Structures are given as C-alpha cells and as structure tokens.
Amino acid sequence: GCDVIVFALYPDDIFEAMADIRDLLKRRAHQNPEKKLTILSGTNKNRMISIYEKHMLKFFDEKELYWYQRNVVFRDMIIRRSANAISTSSLYLSTKALLSLLIQGPVYFDVAIFPWLELRDQLEMFKDIKIFTYNCPHAVCAYAGYWKGYKTIEEAQQDSEIKMLMDACLTEAKEAILKEFPITRENLALFIMMPKGFKNEEELITRVALDPVRKLSEHDRLTGNALLCIKHGIEPKNLIKAIAYGMAYDEPSDKKAQYIQKMISEKGISYAVSKVVGLPEHHDIVQGIVYNYKCLKKPA
C-alpha cells in the first residue's frame, strides 16, 4: 500500500474522490493494518478536513474506524503555485511552483527528504491569510481584467487602473489581517512575498475567475476580506468595487457565472448580490456592491 494520498482537486470533487478510495481504505484496514497512511487535501477552501473525514468515516464499521484513528492522518496543506489549464477537466496542465508546500503536521512520512515540503503549525490561520493576500488581488485582477476585455492575468496586470485596484485591495486586506491574526507586519510581509522575477505568463483569466459563487462568498477572498475590514474599522471601498466586477463576470463557459447572471436578470442585482455574498440586502457591503455594479461601464 502507498504511504501518501494527495487530493489535488476542487473542494466539491474531493467528496467524490473519497468515495472512490473508501473501499480501498476499508480493505487496507483488514489486509495491511500496520502500514501508516497520510492523506493530504490540496484545495484553497479552509476548515474542510473534519467535514471530509466525517463524510468518509460514516461508512466504516467499528473495527475499521479503530484502525483509521490509529494508522491514518488526514491533513490540510497550502499550495503556493501558478497553474493554467483550458478547463477543470483538461488533461493538459501547466504549473509553476512558487514557494514551499505547507503541510499541517504531524504526518506519517519523512517530510525532510523533500526540500519543497514544509510542516507548519497554525495552518488554518495561514490559509486564511493566504486566501486574503495571494488569492485576493489575483481574483481582483481576473474579474476587473475580464470586464476590460483581457484574456490573461499577465495582460490585465499591465493595466495601470487594474494594478492600482489590486494594490489598494491588498492594502485593505493586510491592515485587517494585522488586527485579526497574531502575526507581525514583518512576518506577514515574508509570508506573502513573491519570488523575484516571477510572472504569471499566459495564466488564463477564466481559470482564476472560475466559480464566482465560491470566490465571492462570505468567507472567501473578497467578501471575507471586506467583512474583516469592517470588523476592525477599515473601509473596504476597493474590495467592494472588486466584488462588483465579480458580479458582472459573465463568462459563457462558467456555469456558476451564468447562474449569477440568470439570478441578476430574474431577481435583480440587490437580491443576487445578497445571495452570492451571503449577507442581507440592507448590509452596507451589499449596498456598496450594488452601487459600484450600477456604475460599471464597458470600456470603449
């Protein structure tokens, strides 16, 4: 049997993958019970490990559960990389590792033999910080870039207006993070520092913008950041503007984007924003998004 299983999947797909390996794990509990196993989850969505485990273990009998609890660990990780593919089902993927892969310990394999793996405590905190820093301006670039007609992140980043919005959103996010989490300004700067000379060449906007229902939701990279700002007395005016761009994202091949556009058409923008970001229609963030959405004008 193997030592490590890695789910490098979107959150919803992990449940299906776990169903596929569930019977294999049950068989291992009876046929190879002494061998240890580490399962790693590779997705940006945070605080999902207990949910994944519960979904799988409800099918285990008492003996199998006893084996699992003593021989298997299911751990989260933070992936810091650039990737590109035509679709989520594409068999061709180009990717570029940026920084080490962070893993929540302990695990049942020797991390030290892999120079690009790093055990990290407080992984949930760092995962929030990663989503609110790395992923936040990335999403801003994608939604604003799509609105202005760009195809790749590299192209959109060269637009001074988009770059200014990205930087402003990151500034708002960093100030809120420093108030919310036990991390110093210096350590935050080290954590979010990109390698010198790195470029997101030919990274498709449609990949980064994929599934705006998730990426605009209450706890994710834009709305989650905006709520954190309000909690700490910071006005998230740039984040709110970025979310408005996200609500306007109407890529035909993105089913979740089309779901949002259908809701806007049938129920109105205020209702749609409320449902997507998970806040009441009268909330200041919702009203701010609606206002900015109505101010959007397609570039000539």
284-295 helix and 269-277 helix, angle to the nearest 10 degrees: 130
Give dist(CA 173, CA 167) in Å, integer: 10
Longest dimension (CA), the chain: 66
* Secondary structure of 245-265 as H, E, C letters: HHHCCCCCCCHHHHHHHHHHH
Distance between CA atoms of 204 and 145, rounded to whole angstroms? 10
Q: Which amino acid is at 193?
A: M
Tell the burial category of 61 from Cβ atoms under 10 Å away from its Cβ (0-12, 13-18, 19+): exposed
Would you write out the chain's pLDDT as a tens digit for each of its 300 residues?
799 999 988 888 888 888 888 999 999 999 999 999 999 998 888 889 999 999 999 999 999 999 999 999 999 999 877 666 666 677 777 776 667 889 999 999 999 999 889 999 999 999 999 999 989 999 999 999 999 999 999 999 999 999 999 999 999 999 999 999 999 999 999 888 866 555 545 789 999 999 999 999 998 999 999 999 999 999 999 999 999 999 999 999 999 999 999 999 999 999 999 999 999 999 999 999 999 999 998 776
| Model confidence, pTM | 0.79
User: Both tokens of residue 40?
Assistant: 């790693």
Q: How far apart are CA 14 and CA 300, in angstroms?
A: 42
